[in-house]
């Protein structure tokens, strides 16, 4: 349960199934300083089902998993007959307004965006570093993708840097990182429609 994607959200408890993600209750709502325990729940840790146990969340983070004895200051949620699992990660999205809130509703706590406007990346990084209550999935992004003249995407209005044999690749990658990209997406496919062969 130590996955970075799970650090501030826990999946809601549905009998026999864990499906939708919910934000950690605020301190004001819980009245317990923001800490709570999910007790006697079947736990999937991302690799194996560990059997019934309890999960303690404090300060927006999962801090303990196992046979716990919650104190009176912890709000307790009964997990009997239910399953808890880490937030899901969608490894290929194109994020747009409202999509990250929809993702979180379906249990996706992290999205890996494969082409984005670099102007949104600083805010995405700030949000994912926070443990404050949120209504959106975390976003990691490639920012501007890497392709070549004649390669995908090739549409009017879709103007962005394209690499050539003369491109300084190290500089190109450094510029993407400076824009806020977390990784680089390399595109190798035709520029269609209409159908075009892959660039050499």
At 27-72, the pLDDT tens digits run 333 344 578 999 999 999 889 998 899 999 998 889 999 888 877 7
In terms of Cα–Cα distance, which of 93, 108, 66, 77 is closest to 13? 77
In terms of Cα–Cα distance, which of 36, 55, 35 is closest to 45? 55
Is pLDDT of 161 > 90?
no
Instruction: Write down the pLDDT at residue 1.
Output: 42
Is pLDDT of 117 > 70?
yes
Instruction: Write down the pLDDT at residue 55.
Output: 94
Is pLDDT of 25 > 80?
no
Q: What does the block give as tokens for 88?
A: 């899901």
- The reply to whether the predicted model has a pTM over 0.85 is no
% of the chain surpassing 90 pLDDT:
47
In terms of Cα–Cα distance, which of 111, 177, 172 is closest to 143? 177
Is pLDDT of 182 > 70?
yes
Is pLDDT of 129 > 70?
yes
Measured CA to CA in angstroms, residue 147 lies from 39, 112, 179, 184 at distances of 50, 19, 17, 11
**Cβ neighbourhood burial of 65 (10 Å; 0-12, 13-18, 19+):** middle
Residue 13 CA to residue 79 CA, distance in Å, equals 7
Residue 58 CA to residue 110 CA, distance in Å, equals 20
> Rounded mean pLDDT of the chain?
80
In terms of Cα–Cα distance, which of 101, 106, 76, 99 is closest to 12? 106
Task: Output DSSP code: residue 120.
Answer: G
Residue 109 CA to residue 22 CA, distance in Å, equals 9
Residue position matching structure tokens 């990784």: 183
């Amino acid at each position: 349960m130590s996955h970075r994607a799970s650090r501030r959200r826990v999946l809601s408890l549905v009998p026999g199934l864990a499906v939708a993600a919910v934000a950690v209750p605020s301190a004001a709502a819980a009245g317990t300083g923001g800490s709570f325990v999910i007790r006697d729940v079947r736990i999937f840790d991302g690799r194996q089902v560990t059997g019934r146990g309890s999960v303690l969340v404090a300060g927006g983070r999962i801090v303990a998993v196992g046979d716990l004895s919650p104190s009176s200051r912890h709000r307790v949620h009964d997990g009997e007959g239910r399953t808890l699992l880490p937030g899901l990660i969608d490894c290929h999205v194109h994020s747009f307004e409202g999509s990250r809130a929809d993702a979180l509703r379906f249990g996706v706590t992290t999205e890996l965006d494969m082409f984005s406007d670099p102007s949104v990346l600083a805010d995405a990084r700030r949000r994912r570093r926070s443990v404050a209550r949120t209504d959106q999935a975390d976003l990691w992004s490639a920012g501007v993708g890497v392709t070549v003249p004649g390669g995908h995407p090739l549409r009017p209005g879709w103007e962005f840097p394209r690499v050539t044999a003369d491109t300084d690749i190290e500089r190109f990658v450094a510029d993407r990182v400076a824009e806020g990209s977390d990784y680089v997406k390399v595109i190798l496919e035709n520029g269609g429609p209409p159908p075009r062969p892959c660039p050499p």
